[in-house]
Amino acid sequence: MASTRRLKLTAAVAVAGALVAGMTVALATSASAGTTLGASAAEKGRYFGTATDPHMFSNSGYMTVLNREFNQLTNENGMKWDATEPQRNQFNWTRGDQLVAHAQSRGMLVRGHALLWHQQQPGWAQGLSGSDLRSAAINHVTQVASHWRGKIHSWDVVNEAFADGGSGGRRDSNLQRTGNDWIEAAFRAADAADPNAKLCYNDYNTDGINAKSTGIYNMVRDFKARGVPIDCVGFQSHLGTTIAGDYQANLQRFADLGVDVQITELDVQQGSNQANIYRTVTRACMAISRCTGITVWGVRDCESWRTGANPLLFDCNNNKKPAYDAVLAELNAGTGVPPTSTPPVNPTTPPGGNPTTPPAGGAGCTATVSLNQWTGGFVANVRVTAGSGGTRGWTVAMTLPGGASVTGTWSATASGSTGTVRFSNVSYNGQLAAGQVTEFGFQGSGSGSGMTPTCTAS
């Protein structure tokens, strides 16, 4: 985990041409510096991206704009649950692979969108509930994040889980009904599957300090305090004809928690204020060193999901709009990010030690468990720390209380479901360097109290 964290931090400056997660990000900054959105953002250590869909890749006018202006791509629909897992455990990578291939061929970053969301679930998942849905959801996170491991700059691990209105609480959904800890279980599974991707929570109507953004702020603060692996918060910023006066202050309060902030789905209602609002958003991001990039939700007005709103930077004839000029000017006027980001601060030491300073385990390995329990069930998250000799593989044995049984496991293989259960590494998390940490988890029925893990390394 320690080396993992450092790699994640360097990802913020990947746009400057660093080697990150096994992918070379070489962005053309010199030829067109100051004259395109991507190059101007890259000069300031940031990305400027767009949502797109591979079905547009054959449209030459569109692609001229996309390839010239943007250095980050998000698949508008093709990496969602319904697209990637249309039948349970049968995966379709076509649209995501096409987008990743195009991005890689041009040195563009990829934002992954979105692992878990209450919308655009495949029909089979919509029909599930309880521990069956929880297992399917965690399996989805693991499989999808593993498939594109090392190729995704940032993942929207969980999308739109908070309610609109004044409650500041969670949105009701089939996922929420599996237990309030479903979000942290998803982040832990994503971290195990792709340790170098930045892991984001993404939502809308969070464009200012309000009840919803404060609910999310409290969740992120709690995650940081307990060592849940969250790296960033996405602010979609689907905006109308006004923008909150505290837009920047809201981003800043999240950055101050020790997470990156990203503008992930920006579009603004056409009108006399459109260019000004785009300018305000860009200026706010450039003023915050942990605001690592901006993504607009489409290239041209005619492909926007907001039919008739004309909310984007290019018209349907590939022409730049006044809002484009406003954004470019702000990118060029803005400040750069520091060459190395400040490491995130964990306000309290999480169970099992702070990930940046793992405890010395001696030879072999050590394991700690943290539990989220409710009446009749629990989720256990287990942290495995390699001792001074590192590991080629590991097994964690745990004796479940009488009446308890394992109903689903992620990032490990379980030997059984009751009594003493042995959890062994899967293919990608067995090899750990000295002091390195990995995590796995399982869901159970009954009570999980009193389990003591014993770790054996091979």
Question: Binders of ligand G2I: how many residues, by CB under 6 A?
Answer: 9
Angstrom distance (rounded) from CA 455 to CA 438: 12
Provide the minimum distance between the beta carbon of 82 and ligand G2I in the complex, in angstroms, as a whole number.
9
Which x/- pattern over 88-107 shows residues binding ligand G2I (rule: CB under 6 A)? Answer: --------------------
Provide the minimum distance between the beta carbon of 295 and ligand G2I in the complex, in angstroms, as a whole number.
11
Q: For residues 415-454, which are near ligand G2I according to CB under 6 A?
A: none
Q: For residues 22-81, which are near ligand G2I according to CB under 6 A?
A: 76-77
Provide the minimum distance between the beta carbon of 289 and ligand G2I in the complex, in angstroms, as a whole number.
26
Angstrom distance (rounded) from CA 131 to CA 129: 7
46-77 burial code (b ≥16 CB/10 A, e <16) = bbbbbbbbbeeeeeeebbebbeebbbbbbbbe
Return the structure tokens found at 145.
Answer: 């994040």
Strands (E), 89-223: 109-117, 154-159, 198-203
Please check whether residue 129 is in contact with residue 177, taking contact to mean a CB–CB distance below 8 angstroms: yes
Please check whether residue 421 is in contact with residue 453, taking contact to mean a CB–CB distance below 8 angstroms: no
Determine whether 221 is exposed, middle or buried from the number of CB atoms within 10 Å of its CB (0-12, 13-18, 19+). Answer: middle
Task: Please identify which residue in 71, 236, 248, 425 interacts with ligand G2I, judged by CB under 6 A.
Answer: 236
Please check whether residue 226 is in contact with residue 439, taking contact to mean a CB–CB distance below 8 angstroms: no
Select 160 or 194, whichever has its Cβ closest to ligand G2I. Answer: 160
Provide the minimum distance between the beta carbon of 170 and ligand G2I in the complex, in angstroms, as a whole number.
17
Select 135 or 159, whichever has its Cβ closest to ligand G2I. Answer: 159
Select 93 or 428, whichever has its Cβ closest to ligand G2I. Answer: 93
Please check whether residue 458 is in contact with residue 432, taking contact to mean a CB–CB distance below 8 angstroms: no
Select 91 or 305, whichever has its Cβ closest to ligand G2I. Answer: 305
Which x/- pattern over 105-144 shows residues binding ligand G2I (rule: CB under 6 A)? Answer: --------------xx------------------------
Closest-CA residue to 67 (of 42, 95, 39): 39
Please check whether residue 131 is in contact with residue 407, taking contact to mean a CB–CB distance below 8 angstroms: yes
Select 247 or 423, whichever has its Cβ closest to ligand G2I. Answer: 247
Closest-CA residue to 107 (of 37, 148, 47): 47
For ligand G2I, the nearest residue by Cβ is 305
Provide the minimum distance between the beta carbon of 102 and ligand G2I in the complex, in angstroms, as a whole number.
18
Q: Locate tokens 């958003």: which residue?
A: 281
Select 76 or 231, whichever has its Cβ closest to ligand G2I. Answer: 76
Catalytic residues: 160, 265
Q: Are strands 154-159 and 198-203 parallel, antiparallel or unpaired?
A: parallel
Q: For residues 288-307, which are near ligand G2I according to CB under 6 A?
A: 305
Name the site residues for ligand G2I (rule: CB under 6 A): 76-77, 119-120, 159, 204, 236, 265, 305
